Amino acid sequence: MEYEAFVQRACGKKSDFEASLKQMKRMPDQQVDKLFHAAHQSAFATIDCLTCAFCCTYVGPRITLPDIRRISKALRLREADFERTYLKIDEDGDFVFRSMPCPFLLPDKKCLIYDDRPKACREYPHTDRKKMKQLFKLTLTNSACCPAVEHVLDELGSKCK
């Protein structure tokens, strides 16, 4: 699937997704987490990230100081050299990769630094976190760049009807 076609399709569902999330706001926190986590499992049972890599190609993670320490060590680089070579500071003052696609994304869509990848990469797309209600805004944003989030919100939407 092409990214542009996906974004267009997902954006067309935005108001439906907003409506489902609004409905879920009224549910108890634990019930919302349970529904999200089940939909997350179901999404990743059908979607293979190695055939997608949209997040590694177009989105990119926020990179923390512990990430920099860990990845520099794994690459046997000085932290300053790692920062200079791979990172920049974005408009929010966070470290992000200097350019996208991610410099560590391999041609077969695997991650060169998988075991040491940034925490944000490990946690993306955040649909199996606790207190999901606090992440509704982020989830809505991610629905327009991650097919797994689209799948989760499609499934939750059908349950909210």
The one among 20, 35, 40, 125 contacting ligand SF4 by CB under 6 A: 125
- Residue 28 vs 108, nearer CB to ligand SF4: 108
All residues at 6 or more sequence positions from 43 whose CB lies less than 8 Å from its CB, including other chains: 127, 148, 149, 151, 152, 155
Cis amide leading into 107 (omega within 30): no
> Under the criterion CB under 6 A, does residue 53 sit at the interface with ligand SF4?
yes
> Under the criterion CB under 6 A, does residue 152 sit at the interface with ligand SF4?
no
Q: Which residues pair with 105 in a beta bridge?
A: 111
> Under the criterion CB under 6 A, does residue 21 sit at the interface with ligand SF4?
no
All residues at 6 or more sequence positions from 21 whose CB lies less than 8 Å from its CB, including other chains: 136, 139, 140, 153
- Residue 92 vs 115, nearer CB to ligand SF4: 115
Q: Which span (21-29, 45-53, 77-85, 87-95) binds ligand SF4, by CB under 6 A?
A: 45-53
The one among 96, 144, 146, 156 contacting ligand SF4 by CB under 6 A: 146
- Residue 24 vs 104, nearer CB to ligand SF4: 104
The one among 35, 68, 87, 121 contacting ligand SF4 by CB under 6 A: 121
CB 43 within 8 A of CB 156: no
> Under the criterion CB under 6 A, does residue 36 sit at the interface with ligand SF4?
no
Cα radius of gyration (the chain): 17
- Residues in contact with ligand SF4 by CB under 6 A are 47, 49, 52-56, 60-61, 102, 104-105, 111, 113, 117-118, 121, 124-125, 146-148
